[in-house]
Amino acid sequence: MEAIRELIESDRVTIFDGAMGTMLYSKGIYINRCYDELNLSHPDLVREIHAEYVRAGAEILETNTFGANPYKLQQFGLEGSLRLINIAAVRLAREAAGDRCYVAGAIGPLGLRIEPYGPTSFDEAKEMFKEQASALLEGGVDLFVLETFSDISELRQAIRAVRELCDLPIVAQMTILPDGNTSFGTTPEIFAARLDEWGADVIGLNCGVGPAIVLAAIEKMRGVTNKPLSAQPNAGLPRDVQGRQFYMCSPEYMAKYAKRLIQAGARFIGGCCGTTPAHIKQIADAVRAISPRRQYVVVQDKPKRIEELTPADIRVVPPEERSRWSRKITRGEFVTTVEVLPPKGCDASQTLEQIRLLKAAGVDAVNIPDGPRAQTRMSAMATALLVEREIGLETVLHYCCRDRNLLGMMSDLLGAAALGLRNLLLITGDPPKMGPYPDATAVFDIDSIGLTNMVNKLNHGLDLGNNPIGQPTAFCIGVGVNPGALNLEHEIRRFEWKVEAGAQFAITQPVFDVDQLYEFLRRIEHVRIPIIAGIWPLVSYRNAEFLHNEVPGVRVTPEIMERMRKASEKGKEAAREEGLKIAQESLREIRDIVQGVQVSAPFGNVRYALEVFSVLPEFARATERIALGERA
């Protein structure tokens, strides 16, 4: 594993575990017990709960020591066992973690009031925290998690205590009420700024409330600190059911909010009261789908530049020789493509008939999506091969990371090269739960950045381990990019890595906000590669709503939504015409600032997509003939 400091300084999302108390209670441990003492009396039980979280996908385990401080242990007559309890807790977590997870020493509030609200002084509080932190440090923790604090002054003393002992990373987490503030009335903006000032390495929230309220607070905290943020909400607020307290948030609901928390800026995600390994598994799957584990990308280790590793007898195919598509892009020529979905069954005749219209119109290539939105369709690679062999039109084959492990990807790509496919659009892929088979699993060994590295290595005659493969591949490497990403800084960083990894061109998500595209292009000027803008001709107000709300990364502006709403009230044809008009306006506006466009064919209607191109002089005559049903 990478050093914990490197993990915190990186930008990838990391998964915490979930509740310990909830799990112990579910296994028959009554709440009148000292849960921390179970590290000594029931070690196998504690170790197994840790192991369940490891299997679920947690990357940081918190020790079972939330209340293992002098004051709370004294209430059970266990103050003399403080050192043994904390050391045992670290050992149990470490045994479950192996070399797969980090172990964080968990420290909660003392359980008493400190000045000015109680008789305990700041220094007395600091010394109590220091006693527990010292034992956890002796046990060998990788970092500290100071959690569930309502009083920011008390949390400050815990930070002081740890800092006097060591320089290990500190995750400092407050807890808030449904109104978004602490029980002392401190706002997220205030405590985030203070914790930043006091030296916390990660600042966050846990316990108290469910994910919706935590999300609102994280959004406020992001504006006042550049430190990494963490979020470990409860599984909602507890409800009384026949005298028992139940947390009602499902694992799926928590996973949905995990994505939103990441988009809002959270880098460490986990759960608190009410969350179980089932919740953490769903969260981990969701996180891997949108922020896959970069440490799995073997090609990231580059002691030498790839050019220095290329075998001496290998000639890397220049970009202008890889394909007609690659040659036009390399020369700076404007390129056009239409996205057409693979057929749903094994009969591709209707799809091929539609694609023939594209060749007749003079479109440069057809984009073939790979399992779009996790739907079941014919293999994109098989469809691309049929198109190139039967029609002679070049394809841009989408290839995603969702369904294959590293070896499977290597085999696929070598096979694609042998079959003559040359143009790739490398994407991470939608999680399977977006599709009709919610129990389908994802792989996500690497993300699109790692995949770009992999293909670039193949183009240099190397496999993942830098071993020669003989004749190199000759792929033109494309990547996806989203100018409308909620976290644009993160999107730009990923784009920079894709360019560094070897991307030759990028295709955007459908653009409905031209000003947004202008701003994005300005922000990436330092790493600019040819940008091909996505255009989606809307067909109805419902279609616009669907894209805006249910397709990741797509934002339809309020103005366009209103235009489509008014047009749809007049009927289907009026809505279709308005959608076409909007798409044509977008194409005219962006024609001179991008190097190409990709027009989607809604519901497989290629003729409709071609009408968008009619505003370009070079397409006007051909599209007119096709609209009349003629053949070029």
* DSSP string covering 410-461: HHHHHHHHHHT--EEEEE----GGGSS-TT-----SS-HHHHHHHHHHHHTT
Question: Looking at residue 535, what is its pLDDT?
Answer: 95
Please tell me whether residues 90 and 42 are part of one structural domain. yes
Q: Are 222 and 264 in contact (CB under 8 A)?
A: yes
Question: Looking at residue 2, what is its pLDDT?
Answer: 75
Binding site, by residue number, is 207, 272-273
Distance CA 127, CA 125 (A): 5
| Candidate from 16-30, 242-256, 263-277, 474-488 with smallest mean pLDDT | 242-256
For the chain, the average pLDDT equals 88
Residues spanned by the domain of 194: 4-291
User: What CATH number should be reported for the domain holding residue 463?
Assistant: 3.20.20.220
64 assigned to some structural domain: yes
Helices (H) and strands (E) in the chain, counts: 25, 18
341 assigned to some structural domain: yes
| pLDDT tens-digit map of 543-587 | 898 888 766 667 889 999 999 999 999 999 999 999 999 999 999
Question: Looking at residue 375, what is its pLDDT?
Answer: 57
Question: Looking at residue 450, what is its pLDDT?
Answer: 81
Q: Are 291 and 15 in contact (CB under 8 A)?
A: no
User: How many Cα atoms sit within 13 Å of 421 on the Cβ side?
Assistant: 26
**Residues of the chain above pLDDT 90, percent:** 66
568 assigned to some structural domain: no
Q: Is the pLDDT of residue 308 over 80?
A: no
Which phi-psi region, left, alpha or beta, contains residue 225 (left: φ > 0; alpha: ψ -120 to 50)? beta
Q: Is the pLDDT of residue 23 over 50?
A: yes
65 assigned to some structural domain: yes
Please tell me whether residues 87 and 129 are part of one structural domain. yes
Please tell me whether residues 181 and 266 are part of one structural domain. yes
Global pTM reads 0.55
Question: Looking at residue 428, what is its pLDDT?
Answer: 79
Q: Is the pLDDT of residue 298 over 50?
A: no
The tally of domains found in the chain comes to 2
Please tell me whether residues 334 and 279 are part of one structural domain. no
Q: Spell out where 89-201 has E strands.
A: 102-107, 143-149, 170-174
Please tell me whether residues 287 and 330 are part of one structural domain. no
247 assigned to some structural domain: yes
State the pLDDT confidence band at 487, using cuts at 50, 70 and 90.
Answer: confident
Q: What separation in angstroms does the CA of 625 have from each of 117, 337, 340?
A: 82, 19, 21
With 0-12 / 13-18 / 19 or more C-beta atoms within 10 angstroms meaning exposed / middle / buried, residue 302 is middle
Residue type at 69 in one-letter notation: N
With 0-12 / 13-18 / 19 or more C-beta atoms within 10 angstroms meaning exposed / middle / buried, residue 330 is middle
The two beta strands, 102-107 and 143-149, are: parallel
Q: Tokens 């220094």 label which residue?
A: 123
| Candidate from 134-148, 451-465, 466-480 with smallest mean pLDDT | 451-465
Distance CA 231, CA 212 (A): 11
The predicted model gives 619-631 an average pLDDT of 60
With 0-12 / 13-18 / 19 or more C-beta atoms within 10 angstroms meaning exposed / middle / buried, residue 623 is buried
Element (H, E) at 230: strand 229-232
Distance CA 531, CA 235 (A): 42
The predicted model gives 82-101 an average pLDDT of 96
Please tell me whether residues 325 and 286 are part of one structural domain. no
The DSSP secondary-structure symbol of 511 reads P
Please tell me whether residues 178 and 236 are part of one structural domain. yes
Binding site for Zn(2+), by residue number, is 207, 272-273
> In terms of pLDDT, which residue wins out, 35 or 438?
35
Please tell me whether residues 282 and 337 are part of one structural domain. no
Please tell me whether residues 148 and 273 are part of one structural domain. yes
| Beta-bridge mates of residue 238 | 247
Sign of CA dihedral 260, 262, 266, 271: positive
Q: Is the pLDDT of residue 434 over 50?
A: no
Distance CA 591, CA 604 (A): 24
Please tell me whether residues 160 and 92 are part of one structural domain. yes
252 assigned to some structural domain: yes
Q: Are 174 and 146 in contact (CB under 8 A)?
A: no
Q: Are 45 and 24 in contact (CB under 8 A)?
A: yes
User: What CATH number should be reported for the domain holding residue 173?
Assistant: 3.20.20.330
Q: Tokens 């995750």 label which residue?
A: 171
- Encoding tokens for residue 549? 């709300």
Query: Among candidates 231, 249, 253, 229, which has minimal Cα distance to 239?
Result: 249
| pLDDT tens-digit map of 235-273 | 876 554 444 555 557 888 888 899 999 989 999 999 999
Please tell me whether residues 256 and 338 are part of one structural domain. no
With 0-12 / 13-18 / 19 or more C-beta atoms within 10 angstroms meaning exposed / middle / buried, residue 357 is buried
The two beta strands, 143-149 and 394-400, are: unpaired
574 assigned to some structural domain: no
- Encoding tokens for residue 120? 């305990």
State the pLDDT confidence band at 436, using cuts at 50, 70 and 90.
Answer: very low
Please tell me whether residues 361 and 495 are part of one structural domain. yes
The two beta strands, 531-535 and 14-15, are: unpaired
614 assigned to some structural domain: no
Query: Among candidates 421, 415, 360, which has minimal Cα distance to 391?
Result: 360
The predicted model gives 170-175 an average pLDDT of 98
Q: Compute φ and ψ for 409, nearest 5 degrees.
A: -65, -45
